[in-house]
Each structure stands twice: as C-alpha cells, then as structure tokens.
Amino acid sequence: MLDVTGHRVPRVLHWGADPGAVDSFDELVLGSLPPRPVASVEVPVLLSLIPQQSDGWVGRPGVAGHRDGRFPHLRLELVRPVTVETDDEGGGVRIEARDAMAAVSIRTEVRMDRSGVIRIRHEIVNDGPGVFALESVACLLPAGDQATEVLDFSGRWSRERAPQRGPLRHGLAVRESRRGRTGHDATGLMVAGASGFGFGHGEVWAVHAGWSGNHVHYTERLPEHGPVLGAGELLAAGEIRLAHAESYRSPWIYFAWSGEGLDGLADRLHQHLRGRLNHPRTPRPVLLNTWEAVYFDHQLDKLSELTKRAARVGVERLVLDDGWFAGRRDDTVGLGDWTVDRSVWPEGLHPLVKQARALGMQVGLWVEPEMVSIDSDLARAHPDWLLSAPGRAALPHRSQQVLDLARPEAYAHILACLDALVDEYELDYLKWDHNRDLLEAVHAGTAGVHVQTLAVYRLLDELRDRHPRLEIESCSSGGARIDYGILARTDRVWASDTIDPLERQAIQRWVGLLLPPELIGGHVGAATAHTTGRTTELAFRLATALFGHAGIEWDLTACTDAELDQIAAWVRLHKRLRPLLHTGRTVHADHPDPNAWLHGVVATDRRHAVFSLVQLTTSTDSVPARLRFPGLDADFRYTVRVCPEVGMPTGHPARPVPWLARGSVRLPGSVLSTIGLAAPLLDPAQAVVLELRAE
C-alpha cells in the first residue's frame, strides 16, 4: 500500500498481510503517521520509495551521486501524478520524480503480480549539462516491526547456500558481492522474520537482487524507523558516469512476504517464476552429463557405449561436457577456440550426435563462452580482448582470464562460434559454464563488471532469438551464478558441482527457497562422490536427485545390471512424478529432530504428494519422531506407500515399522498433519520416499 498523495515520492504505508477493504484511505494515512522522533527533525521520518536526507532519512539513500562533488543530496518532487496500471497478471505504479536544481530525474516502476511478489527498479536520467556520477542505486521496502531475526546465506565451491541466522539489530547488516558474478557465497535471498519463524509458521519478508554482476543486499534499522530490506547493483568507483540525456536503469529487485513461514515465501517466489512467459512448459528431460563419467578422456567407443546405457535406463538428453574442443586435454588450454578437436573427433561430433538422436535423445554441449585460456589461439591472436586493467592481467584461475564481451569484436566472435555450433549439430541444449570471479575487471579504462554483465545478457538473448528451441543451463563452477537476472535467459541452474547426496540435501533445500524444483539440476553420481570421497547407497543418491530436474552423472558402463535396472526404475518414477514435482508446492516439515528432514511436493489440488524422509546424522532418540506431513487437505483420505522404485534403505530389518511392513496405510489428511505416522529407523545418509494419494 502506497501513499501517492502530495508532491513527494510515495511512501510505503504497508507491506504484508492483506488487511481487506479499507473504507477511508485518508484515515489509514492519518492512522499510520508516527510521532516526531525525539531529538530529531520536527516532522515524522517517513520511508519513501527513494529515501533521501531531504526526507529526514539518515540511513542508506535510495539514490546517491554528484556533479563533480556538487548536489550530493537529492530533493525529489513528482513531475506528474503517479500512474496506476492493472491487468490480468497484477498491478503496478509508475513514478517520475525530479530534482530541478541537480537536473536529475528518476523513473520508478513498482509491479506486483498475482503471486504477491513485488518488483522494483529505478531509471536515473541526467537532464543537465556535464556528467552526473552515480554512486549507488537501491530499491528498498520496510519489513514489519515484528521482524526480529535475519536469515541469509553464504557458502563456497561445492558448499553453496549455507544458512546463517541471527538477530536483526539496529544499524546496517550488509552482504556485498564484488566477484563480478553472483558468487558461491552470495546470499540469494535475505530474509527478515518474526521471532522463531520456521518453514510452516511466522511472518517473513525477503529481498532478492535479480542481477548477475556485483550486487548488495542489506537490512537496516534506525532509531527513527523500523527494519528495512534493500538491494541493488553494487557500482564500482566511476563505473556509471551519465552524460547529458544518458540514463542508467537498475536491475529488477524482488520482494516477497509470507504469513506462513519460509514455505509460504517459496510458494510465492515459485508462482512468480512459473508465471513468466519464458518459464519451461515442456517436461524437463532426464539427462546424462558426461563430466564425471569420462572427464577429458573423450573416446568415441567409450562415449558410444555410455550413450547406449543411457538409452537403456530412459535418458532423454545427452550432454557432452568439457573436453571436445581444440587442444582441450585438461583445464589449462583451449577456452576461446570453439572448434571441435579433430585429433579426437576426426568426423566432428556427428557420430555421437547421430547415435544419440537415433536412440531418441536430445543433444547438449558444454561451453564456457565468457572465458579464454591464456594457452589458446584466441588469446595469442587478441591479447587486447581480455577484461583486465591496462598493462596487467588479473590473477590467473584455472589458467584462464575473462573475455571482454563488451568489446564489439570479441562479442561478435563468440556469438559467431556459438551460432555455428548450434547450427551444425542442431543442438537442443547448452551447458553454459563460468568458472572464475571477475577480478580487476576493466573495460575501456573504467570499471567493467556492469557492461560485461549486460553484454552477457545480450549474448544470451541474441543466441536464443536465433535459436528459439535452444535451452541453456546456467552453470558457474556449480552454483555461483543463480539469480533472477540470469534466469530470465536460461532454463535450468546447476546448483553445485558436488553431487554428494548428503551435501546436496542441504544445497537443494536452500536454493529451493528461491527456485522451484524444475529449475534445479540434480544428478545421480557414483557410489563414492568425486568431490568429497564419501560413499553412499544408491537408494539415497536416487532419493536426493528425484526432487529437481533429474539427471545422471556417472559412468554407466561400470554399473552392474542390477544397478542399471534400479536406475531405470527411478527414471520411470521421475517421469511419472514430474508433473507433480514440477508444478506442485514445495513443503518442509518443522521436524523436531534436527538430524532428520521431511520435505516434499504437494499438488495444487492437494490430492497427490511425494515426500522424502532424510536421515542426515544419528539421532539421540532410539525411536524416531513421528512424521507430520504439511500441506495436505484435512478432509481428504490419503493412502501412504513407499516408492519401491527408489528402494528401501538397508539397516534395522529386525525392527520394521508395522504400517511399512504391510506396504501402506490410509488416513485422513487431518491425522497425517497432526498425529502423524511412525517413522522408520534410518542410518545416517539414508532416505525413504513416500507417495501420498487422496481417494
């Protein structure tokens, strides 16, 4: 709810639960006016959509900049009345304000769709002579006064989305990413919530920066005002200098509220993404990625047999990973030389592509277009195409540097290479990787992350325009580029380079707040994980990979017939369940045992659900806590059974749960959500998958 009266930028009256019809908006405005702060300005301090010190706001400003040191503070007034727009998808407002003395205009868009997700962005225009140097632009909204805790996330390679939670204090709590990409340690979501909020209870407010370059998320609480959530692009010194009539448009910043805890928050965000025009509408193909099967050892005979095994278990898409292009026998050479290595593939990729298509599979290919190996023909021919400070290269990472895609010649070269590959092999899919941070990123003598990010977006957009059927996965050494900016142009993310199922349980749990399952790639790997060395049962690996866009990353030529049969049964199960998994509501039980997780997906009509009970570590209880299933309809009667296609975990056969020993149980949703079911006794790194159907 916005107060659009008067001549100043609208202030936010309320963001949260729907209060219902308001008889008198004037009375609401009057009732919301706070007292004048003690020992402060002689008017109430109100939070506008673009707060400035001219409003009495002493926190982070909405917009900051200057003209060679002059006009460091803006005093904004509306140029015209606020425009209100509504359509079948939701509603929004457009606001245009100006500081006449500073000669700066700001155009603000606020949109809210039917999911309740709000998007805000600002466009800053230099109306005057000379240069206006823009320092920061943020979009922000007030969280409720009842918000007393903050949840955000950190992480590293193969350990993304690690939660950290603490009190919401007075002052500024900032999460900045200066990596030039979203980052393994990027918070993704910053959540403020009422004390003790969980998955199924408590009010929560969240913000997400839909931008793939440098960015900032923050909470702020002042003595004069309640908690605020904000985010924006993080601009480097001198990065945005607007000449007369030039403008800067911020990325969309996303806000969501829930009165039903984190699951309610995720449901709104998932509905928003599923409502996009570019959201995948076809069933997500089960894929096999060759990376952990063969790494750089590309041999047609081995890959041909792998493809046959993939077809046997029901794979629908074959993705040839790194190692197919010129000179690429390890990760130190060849990036930028996007032509097939004829010493390994004398007939090109055509024999493998032809075989895969004959077996009914789509075909995908790994690329890393934004990078260049120092040992490559491209780098030797065009050393000036690196995105680096004049006279020196950035610190090396995997013997590679960043290609300056804001440079027209470099952009045109990469676009032509990708376009030719997609054309020649009629590719269905690109796994688009991005394996290093952008350190000392300089384009044409100034900070270059902003223009690099826009160039990458433009490259993706143009490639998709030329090839409308092409799907693209956002991979960035795992989960280092997961945000709504890149997802406006891609169809899937690789949540992490680890497919150790125990690590993946946590990673998928928390990235699933931001993204629905159909956008999160999850693969079944070998018994011993390549990233951690941990060995787990096949049933646990299958149960973990079931809840997402499922795939396989394993040398199937080394599997036994029994293993192949179990994988094939799992693939059939996933295909049967994916209409539910990829459209339903993701839910998590606030389970009393922190060592065991119960999560699932419930259909929109609540007649069908699938849950997984996951034992992470040993419990102090010798009898496990009951399973109470969230999200069910209290009046429906559900039959609960184990999914045998995943397999039952080994261990404790002498102490079975009676209802599981019988095979199923039939109870009302009211009982299943309150009294619950007796849980099986599982060992660490074990899981059981349960299917629920209403009669």
Do residues 388 and 374 lie in contact, with contact meaning Cβ atoms separated by under 8 Å?
Answer: no
Read off the amino acid at residue 627.
L
Secondary structure class of 568 (helix, strand, coil): helix
Show the tokens assigned to 404. Answer: 């300056």
497 is catalytic: yes
Secondary structure class of 79 (helix, strand, coil): coil
DSSP structure class, residue 676: -
Angle between helices 501-514 and 261-274 (to 10 degrees): 70
DSSP structure class, residue 16: S
Q: CA-to-CA distance for 310 and 316, rounded, in angstroms?
A: 8
Q: CA-to-CA distance for 186 and 190, rounded, in angstroms?
A: 10
The residue whose two tokens read 């918000």 is 147
Q: Determine the distance from the C-alpha atom of residue 287 to the mean position of all C-alpha atoms in its chain, rounded to a whole number.
A: 20
List the one residue out of 355, 493, 441, 568 whose CA is nearest residue 179: 441
Do residues 398 and 464 lie in contact, with contact meaning Cβ atoms separated by under 8 Å?
Answer: no
Number of CB atoms found within 10 A of residue 369's CB: 24
Close Cβ partners of 79 (under 8 Å, ≥ 6 residues apart): 96, 97, 98, 105
Q: CA-to-CA distance for 686 and 197, rounded, in angstroms?
A: 28
DSSP structure class, residue 519: G
Burial of 177 per CB tally in 10 Å (0-12, 13-18, 19+): buried
- Residue 236's region, left for phi above 0, alpha for psi from -120 to 50, else beta, is beta
User: Contacts from 384-393 at CB under 8 Å and sequence distance 24+?
Assistant: 385/409, 385/410, 387/438, 387/441, 387/442, 387/443, 387/448, 387/452, 388/440, 388/441, 388/442, 389/440, 389/442, 390/442, 390/445, 392/440
433 is catalytic: yes
Show the tokens assigned to 71. Answer: 């006009």
DSSP structure class, residue 379: H
List the one residue out of 137, 118, 121 whose CA is nearest residue 255: 118
Q: CA-to-CA distance for 367 and 382, rounded, in angstroms?
A: 20
Question: Which residue is catalytic, options 113, 483, 497, 500?
Answer: 497
Close Cβ partners of 531 (under 8 Å, ≥ 6 residues apart): 158, 497, 498, 499, 500, 503
List the one residue out of 417, 412, 409 whose CA is nearest residue 340: 417
Do residues 104 and 128 lie in contact, with contact meaning Cβ atoms separated by under 8 Å?
Answer: yes
Question: Which residue is catalytic, options 433, 437, 483, 500?
Answer: 433
Question: If residue 265 lies in a helix (H) or strand (E), which one and from where to where?
Answer: helix 261-274
List the one residue out of 465, 453, 440 whose CA is nearest residue 406: 453
Q: CA-to-CA distance for 574 and 580, rounded, in angstroms?
A: 10
DSSP 414-458: HHHHHHHHHHHHT-SEEEE---S--TT-EETTEE-HHHHHHHHHH
List the one residue out of 231, 430, 413, 409 whose CA is nearest residue 320: 430
Cα within 13 Å of Cα(572), Cβ side = 12
| Antiparallel, parallel or unpaired: β 664-668 and 11-12 | unpaired
Read off the amino acid at residue 317.
R
Q: Which residues are catalytic?
A: 433, 497
